[in-house]
Structure formats: C-alpha cells, structure tokens
Amino acid sequence: MSRIGVFVCHCGENISATVDCAKVAEVASELQGVVHSVDYKYMCSDPGQTLIKEAIKEKGLTSVVVAACSPRMHEPTFRKACAEGGINPFLCEMANVREHCSWVHDKGEVTTSKAIDLVRTLVQKVKYNEPLYPIKVPVTKTALVIGGGVAGIQAALDIANCGHQVVMVEREPSIGGHMSMLSETFPTLDCSQCILTPRMVEVAQHPNITLYTYSEVESVEGFVGNFKVKIRKKARDLDENLCTGCGLCTTKCPQKKIPSEFEQGLGFRTAIYTPFPQAVPNKPVIDRHNCTYYIKGKCKVCEIVCPTKAIRFNQEDTILDLEIGAIVLATGYDIKRTDFFPEYGYGKYKDVIDGLQFERLASASGPTGGAIRRPSDGKEPKKIVFIACAGSRDPAKGIEYCSKFCCMYTAKHAMLYKHKVHDGDAYVFYMDIRAGGKNYDEFTRRAIEADGAKYVRGRVSRIYERDGKYIVVGTDTLMGAKPMEVEADMVVLATAATASPGAEELAQKMHVSYDAYKFFAEAHPKLKPVETNTAGIFVAGACQAPKDIPDSVSMASGTAVKVAALFSNDELTRDPSVAVVNRTAPPMYSTCVGCFLCKSVCPYNAIEEEEIKDRQGNIIKRLAKVNPGLCQGCGTCVALCRIKAIDIHGYTNKQVYAEVEALLNEL
Amino acid sequence: MKIGLYPGCSMEGGSKEYRESVYAVAKAFNIELVNVPDWNCCGATAAHNLNKVLSLALPARILALAEQAGLEEIVVPCAACYSRLVMTQHELSLHHELKEEVVDALGMKYEGSSKILNVIQFIEKYILPELEKKVSHPFAKKVACYYGCLLVRPHKVLQFDRYDDPMTMDNVMNKLGADAIDWAFKVECCGAGFSVSNTQAVATLSGKIMDDATHRGAEAVIVACPMCHSNLDMRRPQIDKYLGRKTKIPVIYITQAIGMAIGIDKKELGLQRHFVPVDLILDRKQIVAEENVELTK
C-alpha cells in the first residue's frame, strides 16, 4: 500500500500568484494513497528539502510528489532529498505547476484546478514507480580524435597531456589541415606554419599519441566508454618503418605536373609525394591514379632510387581494430570553389580565385614564393578585387549562414597584398564587416586606414573578362547607390565555407546529428556546445560550423576537458531511464516475438538480437535486447512495439496509462 | 505534325520577319503551325503594372482558347509573351483562389494543361534532330547569341537552360556551322520597353551589348525576341552615337539564321525588313568543294 507525500511549492510568487497552493495541498491530501500533503514557499530551499526528508522518516512515506517547477530544473534536487530521506530517488516525481500552469495561465479557479489535475496524475503514476539503480559501464581510457587540423591537434595534445592515450586519424597524408595552408593569420599577422608546425611535431612525438595519417574511420560500434572502431589505413605503398623521409623518391619521380592539392591547384607535385615540406609524418605516399607504374605497368624509379628499399608497390590497405572510450570529431570544413559561381565565370577565369588559393599565393612557401602573381600569366596584378560573402548569406545559393571568418581574412588579404604590391589598388566589396572579436575590428580598420584598402559596400553582380582584364560589375550602395565597374587584374572570392566532404557519411557512422548544411550538431547551442547527442562523442572546430583558429582551438580544449572528465572514472554512471524488453518464465521467455521492428527504428543502434538456447545449444527463440549503455531512453521502440514487450524504466506503459486514467476520471 | 502558335502583337507588326521566318522554317521541317483562334493581347508590360487579375486573365484566355482548340503545345516566339503565358500558368497552378477568380472573369474553362514553348525550345525539340543534314549553306561566321532577360528568367519558373550563361542557341548555331562566341552580355538587359519612352537608356544598355559583341569579333548577333531585335536593330543609330563608332553587324533571328543555312530564300525569311542590312554571304565555295569530294568518293 502506497504512502504518498505531496509537497506543493509556491516558488515565491511564481506559482502562488495564480495558483491557490493551499487548496492544491488540501485537495491532494484527500487523494487515495496520500498520507501527507503540505505547501511551502520555497520547497527547493534547505528548509523545504528538510520538510520532505523529515516527512519521509516521520510518516513512513513510500513515495513523493513535488508540485513545483519543471523537472528539468529541480528533479535532481528533490530526488537527492528523497534519497537522503531514505527512499529510492526514483520514487520521487515532479508535477510541473509552474511552466505548465502558473506561468501560462491567469489567476483563477481554473488555473488552480489544472494544478490539482497535474498533481493527481503524478500521484497515480508514482504508485507504480519502482526503485531504479544507476547503470554502471566500464570506460576504456583511450580517445580517438578524427581529423588532424588545428582543432584535432589541440584536442589530442590536451587529452594526451592529461595522461590519457589518444589515437589520431587523418585522411590526408599529413596532419596540419587548412591552417597549414594559410600564409599569415589575423589579427596578428603571425605566420601560420610557424605557429602550427611545432604543434604538429609535438603530436607525432608525444608518447601518449598514436598517429594514423592517410587513414579513415571504417566503422564505429559500441557506446560511450566502450566504442569499437575500425580504421582503414590506406596503402601508402611504403614501408613506413624503413622510410627515412629523405625525399629522393619525390625528386626523381618522372610525373612532375600533377596539380597539388596543398597548393590549391596553383602548383605541382609528383606522383610519389609529401603534401608539403613540413609534413608530419614526413613520409611520402604514391598517388596511384597518376603514378606511371600503375598507369603503364613500368617505371618504379622511386623503388630503384630509395636508399632504404622502403617502396612497396601493390601494398594493401590494412584494417585496425581499436577499443576507444571517447571520440572527438574535428574533421574541419571545405570551401566552395569558384565554379560554384556562374555570375563570376563558372570557374573558367584563371585569375578569379578563391581565398585558399590567395593564401597559397601570399605564402612564403607557396608556388610563387610569396609573390602575388596572376595564375594566368604570372604578372603582378596592379588592381585586385576581393569579394566578401561569395555564396554566404545568400538564400538564392542555398547557403543562408555567415561563414564567419571571411570578413577577417579578406581584410588580411587586402593588407598582405598592399604590403607586397605597394603601388597596387585593393578593392573589397562587402555586405557588412563582421569583425567581432578581440582586436578584430581594429584589424579591419587598419586595412582600410593604414593600408588604404578601398572598401565598397555593395554586391558584385558579375565578372567578365575583356582583353585580359576582369570587369567587376557591382554597386556602391553608400556613395549614391550607383552601379560601378572595376577593371581588375585579379579577383579573389571569399567563398562560403561548407561542411567537409564525407561529413554526412561520417555522421551517420557515428550516429551524430547534423544540420541541413551537413555540419555536425552540438547537443545544446549554448550549454552543450562541444557535446553531441550521442554520449561519448564530442565535436571541435569548423566541422560544427565555420569558425576561425582561436574559436576552433578553444572548442578543442573544451572537448579535451569533457574527455578527461569522462576518463576520470573507472566506471560510468548512467540514468537508468532506459528501455527494457520484458522477460518471463519459460517457455515464453518474453512476450517479444522477435520481429525486430524496434531494431530498425532505434536511432542509437541500442537494440541487439539475443538468442535463447536450450541445453543442447539449439536456438529456441530470438529476442530483442536493449543495450543499456547505448539506450538514451527516447521511447521510439516502445511506441513501435506491437506487443508492448518493451518499456522504459520510469515511464512504463502502466505508469503512463495511470496518468491518463487519472485525467479522465473526475475527482 | 500540328503545333499551336501564339503570335502576339509584335509578330503581326514590327517583327513581321520573325513570324515569316518561323513559318518558313516550320514548313521546311513539315510542321504545321496553327494560330490560337481568336487570340488576344498577352497584356505585356502594361497589364501587370496595373491590375494583377487582368494581367493573368489575358494570358489565361489565350491558354483557354488553345485548350478548346485541342492544342497541346503552343509555340510563343515573342519572349515577353512567352514569359507572360508561363508566369500565368505557374501562378494559377499555385494559387487556387486566384485561378477561380480568373476563370470567373473569363467565363471559360481553364485547365492550364497546354505546354508552352519558346522558339528555342521549339527548335530544340522539333528542328534540331533533323537540322544538320539539311544544312546546305553552313553559317560559317562568328556569332554572338543574345538571349536577353525573359527567355531564361525567372529561372525557378521557367527552368530553361543556365540563366547566367545559356547555351541552347549557341548549340543550334554551332550545328549550323557557326562559331558561337563566348561573350559577356548574353543575358544583359537591352532596355526593353524603354525603346520608346527613354531611348537614351536603350542606347546605353544596348550599346554595351553591341560593343562587347563587336569587340569579340562577332559578325552577327542572333536573337529570339522581337524587343531585343528592335532595340539592337532599329536603335542602331542611337547605339552607334553612344559608342562613338559604327557597328555594322546585323541582328538576326535564330529562325532566320536556320533558314539561311538550309537555303530558304531571303525574302521568305524577311531579311530585307531589317534596318541594319543583312549582307552576310554564306560561303558557297566551301560547300561546292565538299560536295565535289563527296561525288569523287
């Protein structure tokens, strides 16, 4: 027989201003099973909680209903109080009479009667509550960091420095990501490679970090603390233990005219190559699509010249099986290329380039050694136009968001150009200058005031080529709103930042949500910015949304703390509100008939097939089984189960029906 | 084969040669064009500036008449008429109440089932497959294909070609043996209806078009819109004054170009009606030489 206590909170005046709390308590005291019912000004305060604890002891309460705010606010508080009072915390329920009642209705009898109804339903429910105990799962204290850009590097180093093992996986032959391609960084104009390469080396040399480059995640199974990850280590055609990185193979390779990905197509590489001289690891790969041996069946010059005999033609990919406790996604971003812009020439004009290409032109290690030259004829451009928001904030292009870092890098580009071409003219067409950030606005002002970049507020409608010049047709919306044309030698488009290729596929492998633009979704836009909605998987850097280096690095350090916190326990405690398939005595074993509809709809892959065997090992029955480590308690399987064989602990069908019945039956 | 034709006002008046050439080409390909019976004005620029329902009712009547006459496809050579008809069909398919209002005003049944083709679509569908083997006088000239605004925009409704750099006419011209140049003013505004009210604006806008075409060596501009034609052709003195130089190249309808290449008589194509004389001589010698080679084989 239940002995229920009801505690009605005034929440100062938040509830009592519109709800007659004393009456709620009075009516509740007459409900069947209720042996104690009081109201109090602040139930969450210390004296309020003491009321509950003492009542449990003195009146021998078996369960408790607190009529107060949303359970999202204070359920943990009251459950803790109940535990201290001596009952299982899951025997405490909350009736939300604030957000669901007093805040949204006017003062009056109807409002009070709604509050009473809410209390009645929970009183009925709590009669069927059962004691629950937190689920414990073990933790593998190794983190997987996917992506070796600046965010991944930061996350890996921070986690490794906490003393945990880290595996870093990067799909390119070298780590470094986009940051390694940049010339200088805003707002300090310090050299990007100079600050990044030491950190890349640190990753390679850190005793706690295992680095797999030219590798991709093949599959992910398991759950927080217990992921099982398969990594495909793509064939480099190289014995990495023998290779010393001397570079002889790359200098002797006869294929010398392959557009370099690292140089954004502005420079060339060989078929056996390292993306750039500071690559980590400094071990080449063979690009089979362009290698003479793979195309024609003979060459093998690299094999002949290699002093350590490290080349291995026809090497096969290897698959690695890893046990992982937590995962950091740091897969970065991509940008739209110039061919996305029909109005700017469909990418057919060689001197209309994107921001990353300009970075390579301006970089001291770039194809021109840092001299600004037109890709078409190698001449120094005397008039250059930068177009901000190329694609970004443009619903007509299907990209409604701001790419965030373009305003800053466009100002930087204009500056770098003016520093290198003193007699040159730099125009910047912009919509707004978004320079929020420490020393950011000062930086853009410097580009305009000190370096004389000509900022024109207006959009560019099109670009066409005429006699080797590019006619940029735009509008100056501030100076008389007139159409204007600039005859430029070169145009740089600050193209929209987009999700990294393959992001969607990876998100699906990981069971991580992503937005309409394929950026990974954080669990909460404000309060859980580095978590995903899958426990144990975190997100850092521009794979979540376009962001600059400082933001990516801070976010990465944030994920590192989350991972370290996860690894600070030997076991994980999880909320026991998970789905459970019922079990009964043989020969039924369960009312589950093994249709596995639940398995197909579970968003977390938490449902497994279980075989019931007799003593001879013959399979008698197949049942669904919920992995409590993976289940998030969403209830989709419960709704779908045709025979009601699944229930969620704390929200069983019985409990929900009791609530509905209470509402249907008048007092 | 019978296909409907909506001529609109310009083909009856200022752009007679356009209609003549459309008919001549259709005839050469054994296609019978049937006028939409009792057709009326499409409303042009005037109607949709004044009264929304009227601007939809006028084209809707044309479409309703075509349906009554059992014309499943209607060719609309004038780009402005084409735009009005397609826009009407689109709007009425989206807005049920508007449709009821328009149908009520018409007092006729309207389904919106007719397929509306502009001249380029018509050529692409019915002429292009048979075109190459009929070419007797290859159009061996550098040409600038000019589409103007209404053939390709609004793209969401028309869904025709690439709106920034359409290529359909270029492909047709290349099939005729021409060298369709890549140029920058394919879809720029010619000044359209300002032809009468603000000639200077037309001179400036059309001037830029002619400037780019001639600068890139075009020997003719190919069009598929009566308004574009009259601005580039009839307003040439003003254009030349704006440019400060004489631009001599003719402006030819795509149907005229096809007619010339397949050997239809100049008069039948109405080429004599242009202000800028069409004095292109398609190279016969080359054809004769090729024919001889064929014969010796």
The confidence band for B12, taking pLDDT boundaries of 50, 70 and 90, is confident
- Are B250 and B195 members of one domain? yes
- Are B191 and B97 members of one domain? no
Asked whether the beta carbons of residue A342 and residue B165 sit closer than 8 angstroms, the reply is: yes
Q: Domain locations in chain A?
A: 4-126, 135-234+317-332+512-574, 236-315, 333-498, 579-649
pLDDT exceeds 90 at position A330: yes
Asked whether the beta carbons of residue B215 and residue A471 sit closer than 8 angstroms, the reply is: no
Out of 2.40.160, 2.40.30, 1.10.730, 3.40.50, the CATH code matching A4-126 is 3.40.50
Give the whole-number percent of chain A exceeding pLDDT 70.
100
Q: Is residue B123 part of a domain?
A: no
Q: Is residue B294 part of a domain?
A: no
Distance from A354 to chain B by nearest Cα, in Å?
20
User: What pLDDT shows up at residue B293?
Assistant: 67
**Residues on chain A touching B162 (C-beta within 8 angstroms):** 342
pLDDT exceeds 60 at position A450: yes
Torsion of Cα atoms, A473 then B79 then B235 then B168, to 10°: 60
User: What pLDDT shows up at residue A522?
Assistant: 95
Q: Give yes or no for a cis peptide into A281 (omega within 30° of 0).
A: yes
- Are B211 and B148 members of one domain? yes
Q: Is residue B29 part of a domain?
A: yes
**Residues on chain A touching B165 (C-beta within 8 angstroms):** 342, 346
Report how far residue A633's alpha carbon sits from residue B74's, in angstroms, rounded to the nearest whole number.
60
Average pLDDT rounded to a whole number, residues A490-508: 97
- Are B145 and B61 members of one domain? no
- Are B8 and B109 members of one domain? yes
- Are B72 and B156 members of one domain? no
Closest chain B CA to residue A470: B184
Residues 6+ apart with CB under 8 A from A667: A27, A116, A120
**Residues on chain A touching B217 (C-beta within 8 angstroms):** none
pTM for the predicted model, two decimal places: 0.80
Give the whole-number percent of chain A exceeding pLDDT 90.
90
- Are B173 and B237 members of one domain? yes
**Residues on chain A touching B212 (C-beta within 8 angstroms):** 464, 466
- Are B39 and B88 members of one domain? yes
Number of folded domains that form chain B? 2
Last residue of a domain, one of B65, B87, B118: B118
- Are B147 and B210 members of one domain? yes
Q: Yes or no: say if A240 and A233 are a contact pair by the CB < 8 Å rule.
A: no
Q: Yes or no: say if B40 and B272 are a contact pair by the CB < 8 Å rule.
A: no
Average pLDDT rounded to a whole number, residues B37-65: 91
**Residues on chain A touching B187 (C-beta within 8 angstroms):** none
Distance from B149 to chain A by nearest Cα, in Å?
14
**Residues on chain B touching A343 (C-beta within 8 angstroms):** 164
pLDDT exceeds 70 at position B188: yes
Among candidates A342, A346, A466 on the partner chain, residue whose Cβ is nearest the Cβ of B184: A466
Q: Which of B152, B165, B186, B187 to mutate to test the interface with A (most CBs of A within 10 A)?
A: B165
Q: What is the pLDDT of residues A604-660, one digit of tens each?
A: 888 999 998 888 989 888 999 998 878 889 999 999 999 999 999 999 999 999 999
Residues 6+ apart with CB under 8 A from A45: none
Asked whether the beta carbons of residue B164 and residue A471 sit closer than 8 angstroms, the reply is: no
- Are B207 and B272 members of one domain? yes
Among candidates A342, A346, A464 on the partner chain, residue whose Cβ is nearest the Cβ of B184: A464
User: What pLDDT shows up at residue B286?
Assistant: 57
Q: What is the pLDDT of residues B229-254, one digit of tens each?
A: 999 999 999 999 999 999 999 999 99
pLDDT exceeds 70 at position B260: yes
Asked whether the beta carbons of residue A343 and residue B164 sit closer than 8 angstroms, the reply is: yes
Average pLDDT rounded to a whole number, residues A528-545: 95
Of A426-440, A578-592, B110-124, the poorest mean pLDDT is in: A578-592
Structural domain that includes position B197: 136-289
Among candidates B163, B165, B184 on the partner chain, residue whose Cβ is nearest the Cβ of A346: B165
Asked whether the beta carbons of residue B184 and residue A342 sit closer than 8 angstroms, the reply is: no
Average pLDDT rounded to a whole number, residues B35-49: 89
pLDDT exceeds 80 at position A467: yes
User: What pLDDT shows up at residue B290?
Assistant: 60
Q: Is residue B129 part of a domain?
A: no
- Are B63 and B97 members of one domain? yes
pLDDT exceeds 90 at position A587: no
Q: Yes or no: say if A36 and A59 are a contact pair by the CB < 8 Å rule.
A: yes
User: What pLDDT shows up at residue A318?
Assistant: 96
- Which CATH number fits the domain that encloses residue B175? 3.40.50.11810
Q: What is the pLDDT of residues A155-183, one digit of tens each?
A: 999 999 999 999 999 999 999 999 999 99
**Residues on chain B touching A471 (C-beta within 8 angstroms):** 184
Distance from A203 to chain B by nearest Cα, in Å?
48
The confidence band for B288, taking pLDDT boundaries of 50, 70 and 90, is low
- Are B72 and B158 members of one domain? no
pLDDT exceeds 90 at position A439: yes
Q: Is residue B297 part of a domain?
A: no
Q: Is residue B246 part of a domain?
A: yes
User: What pLDDT shows up at residue B35?
Assistant: 94
What is the fold, at CATH topology level, of the domain defined by A135-234+317-332+512-574?
A: FAD/NAD(P)-binding domain (3.50.50)
Q: Which residues of A touch B (CB under 8 A)?
A: 342-343, 346, 462, 464-466, 471
Higher pLDDT among residues B193 and B255, named by residue = B255
Average pLDDT rounded to a whole number, residues B127-138: 92
Q: What is the mean pLDDT of chain A?
A: 95
Asked whether the beta carbons of residue B215 and residue A465 sit closer than 8 angstroms, the reply is: no
Report how far residue A484's alpha carbon sits from residue A45's, in angstroms, rounded to the nearest whole number.
67
Structural domain A333-498, CATH architecture:
3-Layer(bba) Sandwich (3.50)
pLDDT exceeds 70 at position B283: no
Domain at A579-649: CATH code: 3.30.70.3270
Q: Give yes or no for a cis peptide into B154 (omega within 30° of 0).
A: yes
